[in-house]
Structures are given as C-alpha cells and as structure tokens.
Structure 1
Amino acid sequence: MRYLLRLLGSRTPENAEQAEELVPQVHQAILLEDLEGAMTELEKKTRQCYAGAFDIDSNDFVQMMVIDGCFKNVDDPIFTIRWMLRTLQRDLLKLENQLPFFVLKKLFELISLAEDPTLIDLILTFFDPLMPRKNIKGNLNPEGEFDHMLEVFRSTFLSSVNQDITSGCEKLKISVNAPLVQERQLIHSVTELEEAGVKLKKREYCDLLDINFQAGVLKIPSLYIDDNTAVLFLNFVAYEQCEDTKPFFTNYLMFFDSLINSSADVRILHKNGIINHVLGSDQDVADLFNKLGREVVYDLDECYLSQPIKRVNNYCKTYYASKWRVWFTNFKHDYFSYPWTFFSLLAAIALLLLTTAQTYYTVYGYYIPS
C-alpha cells in the first residue's frame, strides 16, 4: 500500500518529492478509481490466466491487481543495497510471481507521463544486469504480444534463433528401442568430441542460443555463469514446460547437460572461452547443468538444435568407424595428455632403443668377431 500511495502521489502536478504529504486526497481518490475501473474491466480476462479458480470476490480481486501491479521507487533503501536489488530482480522474474502483461500495460498507460520511458524499456533496463548483453532492446519487437515480464526478458534471447525449427531440415531421430541413457544423450560429451577430432570454438557476436557446427568445428557463444544463471534458466524452462511455446531454452539446457558430464568437460569449454564462471569449481558448474537437466520433458522433434547435433553425431560416427583413428586418439590421450606421461614414453622408447642396440652389437660381435 505504501508503494501504491507513493506511485499515485508522484503522478500529481504538485511537488513530487513530498507527494505523500502534499497531494490532495481527492486527486488520489480519482486516480485510484481509474485504476480500479480498468482492473474491473479486465477482471474476467485476468482470472482466466491462472490455473485454478480464485475464492476471492470481485472487489478483493481488483484490489489485489491494483496493489500488486503498482510499484514505485522514491528513495527506498531496497534500491540502494546491491544484494537486495539483485534479489528483487530474481524474485520478479520467477514464473510464480508473474502478473499478466496486459494488466501491467494498462496500469502503466493510466499512470505514466509523456516523458516516461516505455514499459518495455523499463523492464529490459531493470533485468539486463542479470545477464548483460549488447543492444538488448534491439533484440525485441516493442509491439509484440507477451504473457508477462518473464517472457519479455526471455524473448530478448531469441532474435537470431530460427523460429521455424522444422521447416526445410531433417529432424533428429533416435530409435524408440534405444536405452534411456542413449535417448537422453543428445550429443557426445566435450571430452569425447575432442577425442573424435571435433574442435570447440567460441562463437563471436552471436546471441546465446545461436550454436553452429561446420567443417569439424562446433561454435558456441560464450556463457557467463553466476548465481543468477540457474534461476534464469529454471524459470525460462518452467515457462516453456507449462505453456504452448517453443522450447528453445529447454533444448539449450539439454544440449549443455549432454555436453557436460564432468569437470574435465567444463575445463575444456573454459579453455576455449565458451564458459566463464564465478562458482566454486568446475565440478560445481558440471553439477549445475546436470541438476538442471533432471526430469525435464522435451521433444527431440521440436529441438531447434537438431541440425548441428545431427552433423556432430555423424562426424563422430564417421571418425569412430576408423579403427586406426580410434587407436591413435587413445594413444594420444594416454601418452600426450600430461608432461610426465610424455616423458615416461620418451624414456621407455630410449630404453627400448638402447636395449635393441645392445642386443644388436652383442649378436654382431658373436657372429663377426673382431
């Protein structure tokens, strides 16, 4: 209620800095009636957005929409404490905390002034620090239809993703008789890919989801992981799981879940500039992706990454079809991965050569005495 009163007070022609003391009560009542009237008109549409029926009468429901939808900062301590602000950003993006976007949009139209930024601009500016990117506003259609703020922010990651994920391309097929592990293993792990000769490279100047594979090189945009990453991904995936929307982040998450099986996989991705993180260890990153991927329902036919995944798998299949390549890969992994194994190999070779030379000269001296 305090924030609602501050918001109403700040929209008066009086001194906005002392709005609560100076604003005439009659002006607040008129503006509040306008908000209540707008929410009354949208009540039926708003109730239909929720999964279950509300045991709340019309007046209380309208009041809830007005109070929940109005939020105004007037030098409040919550906006001056960094950790609290970050917590607020994450909290406002949780799927269970969303208000229908048309509710926020209508309230904003009634309250905003001509010089105010747009609602979309406010949302993107506020949430951008959770995963900073260049030109975030240019990635979004300001006239688009959105369900809520979570979808607004999610949509800023989709500008370069092919929206038609099945048109003109073959779908990724997995045998219905395949065991569960193989069924969920979309792609080989990073370690296995390197052993098969696949090169990993950071893809520059691309959106997060824009993954590509060509000529033996898997290019993946850089991903920065901190405490916000898990919260964002969980809510993006939760939204995709419960709504009839294309599962881009579900596909992306399952891709990384298959790609990362151990800390060694994370270490290789970090070495190639693909993953940077501030978590405790590389193993923590591996655990994060493996936990996020648990019990996620996904349809491979709807995977926007089906083409690059298929190309990678075919490349690996061709590579492993050659026994000599497999032997050489294993040899290189066993003896050239670490300096001490390499030097041990050199010592063994030198010992073998010396032993061979000694045997040769012994036999040579026996048959051809001096």
Structure 2
Amino acid sequence: MEPQHIVSIEEHHSRKVVGSIEAGEGSSGAGQHPPATAMEEKIEMLKRAGTQPGAVEGAKIQKVIFLLRDHKSFVKYFEPRVVSLGPMHHGNPKYHLGEMYKHKLAYEFVKQFGCNDGNTLDDDINYLHGKIKKEIKQLRGCFEEEVTKNYDDEALAWMLFVDGCAILQYIFCAAKNKFEELNIKNDSVAFAQQDLFLLENQVPYRLLKLLMRYSGKEEQLRNSIESFIQNVNYQQTEQQKQGERDPIHLLDLLRTRLLGPPPCPKAKPSSSRCPFTHQEDQDWQTYRNVQELKAAGIHLKRNKNNSYLRNISFTRRFGFDFYSGYLCLPPITVDDSTAPKFMNLIAYEMCLDFENDFGVSSYISFLDSLIDEANDVKYLRKARVLHNFLGSDQEVAELFNAIGTDLVPNAEAYKDVKIQIQAYYESKWLTWMAQFRQDHFSNPWTIIAFLGVLLVLALTSVQAWFAVFPAKK
C-alpha cells in the first residue's frame, strides 16, 4: 500500500462544519417563556461567570492568550513554520508540503508499528483509527471548545489519527536518526522540531498514549519520546516516575523536564503586603547585571549536579562569609529555537486554566536580571554556563532582554538566592576586597610585582635592623 492511499482517505474524511441552529427557529406556542429583558440577560451572564470553575491542574489546548497576540514577533514565535498539528492551523494552504510529510510519516508508523498479526495495512489503519473514534469525546474535551467547534467527530478523529501517528514516527526517527531513510531533508526536520513545541500546535498526550498502547510497541515508543525530549533540552533528564501525573501535551512534558522536580511547599508569610510594591522588601535587588556582581566579587559557576532550571544557588568559598561568593547556574544552550521554545512555554504558563508556579517565566526573568549587554553574555560563556550557537554575544543579550519583557515571575522563585546575593552585594568590606583583588591581582604580572615589592620591603627591613643593631663580632 502506498502513502498516497492515506491522502485519499484524508480527502474522503474532509473537514465538516457543524451547522448552527438559526435564531428564532421553531414556532412559538403555549408554554414558552417570555423573552428576557436586557437587564435579566446581564444578571444571568454574571451568574454564569460566578459559577465557572477556577484554574485546574491540566489546561485545555487553546490559543495563545490575548496579552501576547499583539507581540511584534507573534508570527515568528507562535505560528508553525512547516507543519500544522491539531485543529487550529489545519487546512492552511501554506502548510501543504508539511501535510505531505505528515501523511508519509503516518503511513510509515502504521507499517512499522501496526499490530500486523496477519492483518493487512488497511486493517491496521482501521483498527488504530477505530480506537481513536471510540475516545473522541474524551479527546475533544482536551481542547478548548472554540478550537474544535468546526469539526464533527469523524473529521476530528481522522485528523488526530494522522497527526498522532506522524508525531510518534517523527520522534522515533529523530531518536534513532532515521530521516535519511525517508528522504526527509535536515532543514525540514529542524523546523518541524520547533513546530512540535508551539502552544497552538499541540495534540493531547492522551492521544499519543492511546496510539502507543495499541501499537504493541509501547515501551520502545515511550523510550524514544524521553530520548527526544532530552536532546531538545540539551540536558540529562529523568524518565517519568510512577505516580507522576501524565503530561497534557508535548509542550507540557518539555516544561516538566526543563524545570525538574517542584520545590517543597513553604509556609506562606503572614504579611499581606501587595506583591507589586517593593516597600520594606528584603529581597529588593540593586545590582543590574553580571558585570556588577563580578565587580563585587561574585563569581559565576556552572552547576554540575543537574541542569534543571530550578537549580540555582549561591554559595561562599569554604562556607565562610568573608570569602568570595559563587552564583551557581544551570547550563543553557542558545540557538535559533531558544526564543520560540521559551516564548511558548511562557504562553502556556499564562493560560488562565493552568495552575502553575510560573517556573519558566521566573527563570527567564532571573536570567534577564543578569544580562544587560554583550559583556554579561561573555562572562556567562567563560563560566561555561551559556553556550552561544546564535551568533554574537550582543544578539543573545537582545534576545533575553526581549523575551524577558513584561513577565510577572513567581515572587518566591529563587528568593533565598536573591537575598544572599543582595546581602553580599551590599557588604562594603567584601566589595572593597573584591576591588583590591581586581586591581592588584587580576593578572600574573601584578602578582609578581606585588611579591617583588614585599621582597624589597623585607630586605629593607632586615638592612635597617642590622644598621640599628649591628651584629657583634
């Protein structure tokens, strides 16, 4: 069976618009309620708003929040480049080539991971598609209602079947480096990887679990997902632990793996001070960037224990207060995918129905507080905290200044670290010592000169001693 056969099925199950009932349809008869007044409608609207449920743990798949939709780089950061996944951008002619690749990957998935027990390829397609149709109500519930309202169950089930199979096959090929066998070019592979982690390009992880379960090779596919996420992160990650909640979608899984385990909850302070003011705030920071920290004697250090974004700490050498301070940061790799990846993670955290601790927003805000200009990036590179594959250091500085704008981080995130840095920064003695070391011991020649001066002073002192107290014969 050729890949084109799947395309024909797609054409057969074309998108259907659910017809709406026209206002005023039906005859007016006895027993009907009189039309509500304008005031009654307004009151009813307030009642409905009051009974809406609050934020829940798992957000529905939805559009980027309106606060970010007027971003000057919205198209660059939030819209797919080569392939649309899910219903939001489905049918857009600009993704025609991506649709061809998608069907090719879906065909390869069914051929490689279908049940195969004496079945034909058609039987495997019908089997997997049928499993999705049986759970289409639950899968539809994973999306915000507005997103899927133009698709009936049949059209939505087929769309999710093709997209889910294509995603799993793409991830498997990426983990096993098998794209050359499918004649898919590297540039298409790279752009498609960015598209996988766009908020408006997500499909339910429940769909992927369903396909993995009925493919008969669930463990192999699950391992490929973990390997793929690890490569996207440029870091070592731990696989999902037993009892840990399932991700909502791939973007949610990426966020979990980037941040690492959530911190232990702390008792909330009794103060009711407004979080948007800084009056009597002990963690009010006066330093502006890495250069000022360096001038105060604070050194940057790459965190070697793990690379989770939450793992930021401040230590003193040998544990003594009068020694230099070290700000330990997780390593981060910056390339062309960095801005879209973090912007979509920030947009996900801003979803109104997603209860979270704004971990990514807080990390970007903290990093933005350290980076003002190219020299700050230079020091981060020298400390091996930041790997720059983007271009010049100035480009990296501008990138974090851009994506760090208008963020509202979690006030408790890195609070202890900020307090320790500020206390060190405000210490006049430590600052003076750091400045002395910088002025007199910044290179080997100044050290040699200082030792030479000490030697001359010592010899002069010895000479003066013997001049006053000559040695007896």
Is 1:208 aligned to residue 308 of structure 2? yes
Q: State which of 244, 247, 251 in structure 2 corresponds to 1:146.
A: 247
Deviation at 1:39, TM superposition (A): 3.5
Give 1:165-314 correspondences, 5 Å limit.
166-167=266-267, 178=278, 188-209=288-309, 210-215=311-316, 216-242=325-351, 243-300=354-411, 303-314=412-423
1:128-160 superposed Cα distances (whole Å, 9 cap, x missing partner): 3223323x2447558532111111122123335
How far apart in 1 are the matches of 2:432 and 2:155? 72
2:192 matched residue in structure 1: 88
How far apart in 2 are the matches of 1:277 and 1:29? 44
Q: Secondary structure at the match of 2:258?
A: coil
Deviation at 1:98, TM superposition (A): 0.8
Deviation at 1:260, TM superposition (A): 0.8
Deviation at 1:281, TM superposition (A): 1.4
Q: Single out whichever of 35-44 and 193-202 deviates more from structure 2.
A: 35-44
Deviation at 1:60, TM superposition (A): 1.9
2:74 matched residue in structure 1: none
2:116 matched residue in structure 1: 13
Percent pairwise identity? 25
Deviation at 1:90, TM superposition (A): 1.6
Q: Secondary structure at the match of 1:255?
A: helix
How far apart in 2 are the matches of 1:227 and 1:168? 39
For the Cα contact (< 8 Å) 1:154–1:236, is it kept in 2?
Answer: yes
How far apart in 2 are the matches of 1:51 and 1:191? 48
How far apart in 1 are the matches of 2:413 and 2:141? 33
For the Cα contact (< 8 Å) 1:170–1:307, is it kept in 2?
Answer: no
How far apart in 1 are the matches of 2:142 and 2:346? 23
Paired letter, 2:120: V
1:190-242 superposed Cα distances (whole Å, 9 cap, x missing partner): 11112222222222122232111122221112222222322322222222122
Structure scoring higher RCO (CA < 8 A, sep ≥ 6) equals 2
For the Cα contact (< 8 Å) 1:121–1:137, is it kept in 2?
Answer: no
Where structure 2 has 5 or more consecutive residues not aligned to the other structure, the ranges are: 1-5, 7-102, 317-324, 451-473
Is 1:105 aligned to residue 216 of structure 2? no
Is 1:131 aligned to residue 227 of structure 2? no
In structure 2, relative to structure 1, the CA distance for the partners of 1:50 and 1:141 (3 Å cut) is farther
Q: State which of 131, 154, 165 in structure 2 corresponds to 1:35.
A: 131
Q: Single out whichever of 277-286 and 221-230 deviates more from structure 2.
A: 221-230
For the Cα contact (< 8 Å) 2:194–2:340, is it kept in 1?
Answer: yes
How far apart in 2 are the matches of 1:118 and 1:163? 33
Q: Secondary structure at the match of 2:193?
A: helix
Paired letter, 2:293: L
Give 1:14-93 correspondences, 5 Å limit.
23=120, 25=122, 27-28=123-124, 30-32=126-128, 34-47=130-143, 49=144, 52=147, 54-71=149-166, 72=169, 80-93=184-197
How far apart in 2 are the matches of 1:175 and 1:137? 34
Paired letter, 2:127: L
Where structure 1 has 5 or more consecutive residues not aligned to the other structure, the ranges are: 16-21, 347-370
Paired letter, 1:34: G
Q: Secondary structure at the match of 1:261?
A: coil
1:122 matched residue in structure 2: 224
Deviation at 1:125, TM superposition (A): 1.8
How far apart in 2 are the matches of 1:151 and 1:85? 21
Deviation at 1:255, TM superposition (A): 0.5
For the Cα contact (< 8 Å) 2:364–2:404, is it kept in 1?
Answer: yes
How far apart in 2 are the matches of 1:51 and 1:246? 26
How far apart in 1 are the matches of 2:261 and 2:247? 18
**Whose helix fraction is larger, Structure 1's or Structure 2's?**
1
How far apart in 2 are the matches of 1:53 and 1:23? 32
For the Cα contact (< 8 Å) 1:259–1:265, is it kept in 2?
Answer: yes
1:157 matched residue in structure 2: 258
Paired letter, 2:206: F
In structure 2, relative to structure 1, the CA distance for the partners of 1:188 and 1:140 (3 Å cut) is farther
Deviation at 1:187, TM superposition (A): 5.5
Q: Single out whichever of 118-127 and 138-147 deviates more from structure 2.
A: 138-147
Q: Single out whichever of 284-293 and 63-72 deviates more from structure 2.
A: 63-72
Paired letter, 1:201: K
Give 1:332-347 correspondences, 5 Å limit.
none
For the Cα contact (< 8 Å) 1:186–1:258, is it kept in 2?
Answer: no
How far apart in 1 are the matches of 2:234 and 2:183? 19
In structure 2, relative to structure 1, the CA distance for the partners of 1:214 and 1:160 (3 Å cut) is farther
For the Cα contact (< 8 Å) 2:345–2:360, is it kept in 1?
Answer: yes
How far apart in 2 are the matches of 1:131 and 1:195? 32
For the Cα contact (< 8 Å) 1:95–1:239, is it kept in 2?
Answer: yes
Normalised by the length of structure 1, the TM-score is 0.72
How far apart in 1 are the matches of 2:330 and 2:219? 31
CA RMSD of aligned residues (A): 3.9
In structure 2, relative to structure 1, the CA distance for the partners of 1:103 and 1:29 (3 Å cut) is closer
